[in-house]
Amino acid sequence: MSDLALDRQIDRSQMTVSDEVAIQITKMNKWFGTFHVLRDIDLTVYRGERIVIAGPSGSGKSTMIRCINRLEEHQSGTIMVDGTELSSDLKNIDKIRSEVGMCFQHFNLFPHLTILENCTLAPIWVRKIPKREAEATAMHFLEKVKIPEQAHKYPGQLSGGQQQRVAIARSLCMKPRIMLFDEPTSALDPEMIKEVLDTMVELAQEGMTMICVTHEMGFARQVANRVIFMDAGQIVEQNEPEAFFNNPQHERTKLFLSQILGH
């Protein structure tokens, strides 16, 4: 596990959590065929919270955050995002998706569009923002992720770390109120992980509500205000990072932590 993020000085004072509910998941269940992949998930996320979800592979952590913007459909229970309930109503889904940004393990940039076009596409066609304005916003966020000079290149010409930062900028261009990260650093070389984590830390310091599925325990320690441990489709333990790492309660959590931090 990379502890690259540990050397950062982080000012946690800005990262305030309000008592406004951003996401409310109640008794959510999901099956893949007959396989019960998510079981009775209950989770409340407040605005400004940074939540890290950890757990072994196949524990359902990616599936859970993919349910939040309906890339996966849940079969029972409710998910409320910003007060809108996720149902099969397409209007609600599109509304929630434009409020919730998502970054994927494999970036999923659009290879036939330039970096700038990748960033302006959704604002222009979903938010109906004029092209010039969308481009200004895109350049602003590209500067923020420190790659404005790549704006006119194609994704294939960028390194993995740069691509992931573009993917973050692309999501931010929609001015989302919540960001979901699905293992954003798992497909990257160790050297590039740091640049992506730096971007995420910066985002957290500005008070963005974030849910990150990640194996970067250093990042969890520093930035998260809550760590959730999942196994076998259920939430096994959740706690503040200090307590979670230093004093895990459940046997499964202890085993997991000893395995990933043990070397």
Closest CA to 166 of 179, 178, 155, 156: 155
Q: How far is the CB of 126 from other proteins (least distance, A)?
A: 5
Residue of the chain from 9, 33, 128, 156 that contacts other proteins (CB under 8 A): 156
Identify which of residues 182 and 231 has a Cβ nearer to other proteins in the complex.
182
Q: How far is the CB of 171 from other proteins (least distance, A)?
A: 8
Q: Does 109 bind other proteins (CB under 8 A)?
A: yes
Structure tokens at 95: 């509304």
Q: How far is the CB of 13 from other proteins (least distance, A)?
A: 32
Identify which of residues 128 and 263 has a Cβ nearer to other proteins in the complex.
128
Residue of the chain from 20, 73, 89, 94 that contacts other proteins (CB under 8 A): 94
Contact positions with other proteins (CB under 8 A) in 167-206: 170-171, 174
Structure tokens at 98: 């434009």
Residue of the chain from 2, 24, 29, 98 that contacts other proteins (CB under 8 A): 98
- List, in order, residues 6 or more apart from 7 with CB less than 8 Å away: none
Q: Give percent helix, percent strand, percent coil of the chain, each to the nearest 5.
A: 40, 25, 35
Q: How far is the CB of 55 from other proteins (least distance, A)?
A: 21
Alpha-carbon dihedral angle through residues 171, 174, 180, 186, given to the nearest 10 degrees: 0
Q: How far is the CB of 39 from other proteins (least distance, A)?
A: 24
Measure the CA–CA gap between 68 and 62, rounded to whole angstroms. Answer: 10
DSSP code, position 113: S
Identify which of residues 114 and 238 has a Cβ nearer to other proteins in the complex.
114
- The two beta strands, 21-32 and 178-182, are unpaired
Q: What are phi and psi of 209, to 5 degrees?
A: -75, 120
List residues near other proteins by CB under 8 A: 69-71, 90, 94-95, 97-98, 100-102, 104, 106, 108-112, 121-122, 125-126, 154, 156-157, 170-171, 174
